[in-house]
Chains A and B, each alone.
Chain A
Amino acid sequence: MTAMLELADLTKHYRTKHGVVRAVESVSLRVEPRTTMALVGESGCGKTTIAKMILQLEQPTSGAIRFEGQDIATMDRAALRAYRRQVMAVFQDPYSSLNPRLRVGTIIAEPVLAHERKSRAELAKIVAEVLDVVGMPANAARLYPHEFSGGQRQRIAIARALALRPRLMVLDEPVSALDVSIRAQILNLLADIQTEFGLTYLIISHDLALVEHFSSDVAVVYLGSLSEAGPTEQVFATPQHPYTQALLAAVPLPDPDHVLSEAAAMGEIASAMNPPPGCRFHPRCPHAMDICRTTPPVLTGAPHAAACYLPPHALRDAC
């Protein structure tokens, strides 16, 4: 089966005054149709940069992004237009992602107008439909973003992304700016529209409980590289990379008697400008061996893969 989205050795280096920031380093991933892939990982590990490359807001330094098997870098104009209408994004901040000077109806209609010729009546119908999908009244179209709460604004942002009936949605921290009770509404809404429209999601979140609840697959990113990937259930039940183990141990539970693991807090974050040689996690890893300090481990295993020399991979690779 062709993947909905495939990243192949995707790399992004930013040049700055002080040197090169290796934001994304050779990331390869497959996202199957109608599944939800979650990207998790430390702040600054390159998650948003990956999203931006998929959305063509940044140009990859090297590597490829394939949409249904086709490399977006070699697409002709017509194919690119088709790509851009099938891939939509919802960003973290419902406050700044909506243009404050435009009415909600105009905001939602904008991407449609960019791609299709539609009469006013047809546009109004689309706007009313998607507002209904996200549980907002049709008269919301006449109001301005500031007249809505954060949760409502995020619904509007989702409605806008839905207006063109996309197939892939990139959700970069879609609920982290929202209140807990509203979060549940938005997550339930996203799950419903995924089923209804057969959508594929790539979601970025730092909330591991949310990721466990919401995604079918998960990729753990550390300093621009994948450290572990696989079906969510397997990765959460039997994390194989020490970084994933540390992440799971660090989740603060809503329980005052839960003691946060000290191990989870260890280590300085390495800089993406100066990533350590070998395994990028080795300076923080309690199990680091000599080889970890010199030679980068390769992501191995399927469907549950980890980039680590520790068994079972070390054993399997030795054979």
Chain B
Amino acid sequence: MLLSVRDLQTHLHLKRGVLRAVDGISFDVAEGETLGLVGESGSGKTLTGLSLLRLLPKGSGRIVGGSIKLDGQELTTLSESALARDIRGRKIAMIMQDPMTSLNPVFSIGDQVGSPLRNHDIARGAALRSAVVDVLQRVRLPSPADRLGDYPHQFSGGQRQRIVAAMAIGCTPRLLVADEPTTALDVTIQVQIINLLRTIQADTGAGIILITHDLGVAASLCRRIAVMYAGQIIETGPVRAIYRTPSHPYTKALLAAIPRLGAKRTRLVAIAGQPPSLIDPPSGCRFAARCTQRMDKCAEAPPTVTLSDGHSAACWKLV
């Protein structure tokens, strides 16, 4: 297995208390496979990705339990220097959710896309320049050779997102974590980014973790889906099982909340309420307060029920 995560727990030690951002999640990603991580905003998707790279918020973020294995190598106990040298940006790369925070406003985009290639000694000088142009071409930035000297603010939101993608794929990582890589893009370009991710995968055999709000993008790119809610994976399964027979009430509600092309205009089915605080999460089912099917039992933590091969969900309704 390319990546095996077991019972991962990542906490943020804040003034207000300990926030259990990732609370005991397990998943695998095989070589050449795309796993979709979908779910509520604030459910811990980004922090799951950042945990793999150990790029947690400085001072507060800590992996407090569980294991992360890449090609069998345990990463949670690896030294910071070894992680920086061999793993981060090299074997595991991340396309960050907010392109503006991963781009430095005072450096040209040519410099920034070239920087991982330089740092990992992949190319220098003229070869570096042509490698940068090449990778910018692969992400379909218009006239890349002319724009190497331009700065991030001179590009549109979607163009910046592609520049960030270029930074991540430059070193042909084994595992690519793509955090909302298509959010700011219009669909014809979204298709191109989807195809780009597919091509990278076919060329390099990289595994991909796709973090997305967009259930359409997830459906078209992923082989398996893990649905997160309040720090936990509440349902996971092959893509068809998740979309055809969603079983957890949250997954069902999520699929009902999206406007669909060509569907009749009706009021959207919003999920009432807010997810619980992760500082003092309820001991029972974390979705209970918003769940339309809640029962008394739901005050206790629901067991994970296997529904079919590789498809499981954590809900008392399914027991």
Contact = CB atoms under 8 A, between A and B. Distances in A.
Interface in A210-255: 210, 212-214, 236, 246-248, 250-255
B125 interface: no
A18 B155 CA distance: 13
A143 interface: no
A247 B261 CA distance: 12
B216 A251 contact: yes
A254 B221 CA distance: 11
- Looking at chain B, what size class is its interface with the partner chain? 35 or more
B239 A260 contact: no
Contacts of A151: 41, 274
Interface stretch (B180-188, B201-209, B310-318): B180-188
A184 B271 contact: yes
B18 interface: no
Given A187-B268, A213-B265, A180 B188 contact: no
Contact of A260 (B158, B191, B244): B191
B147 to A, nearest CB: 7
B240 to A, nearest CB: 5
Interface stretch (B5-13, B58-66, B169-177, B249-257): B249-257
Given A16-B150, A16-B154, A48-B156, A183 B188 contact: no
B149 interface: yes
Interface in B176-200: 183-192, 194-195
Contact of B219 (A17, A255, A270): A255
Contacts of A17: 149-150
Contacts of B155: 44
B243 to A, nearest CB: 5
A164 interface: no
Interface stretch (A80-88, A102-110, A171-179, A287-295): A171-179
B189 A210 contact: no
10 contacts: A40-B186, A179-B41, A181-B270, A182-B41, A182-B270, A206-B187, A250-B190, A251-B261, A252-B216, A260-B194
Interface of B: 39-42, 98, 140, 142-143, 146-147, 149-150, 154-159, 161, 183-192, 194-195, 213-220, 239-240, 243-244, 253-255, 257-263, 265, 267-271, 274-275
Q: What are the 10 A-B residue pairs with the smallest beta carbon separation, nearest first?
A: A43-B158, A179-B41, A44-B156, A252-B216, A213-B259, A271-B142, A184-B270, A184-B268, A181-B271, A250-B187
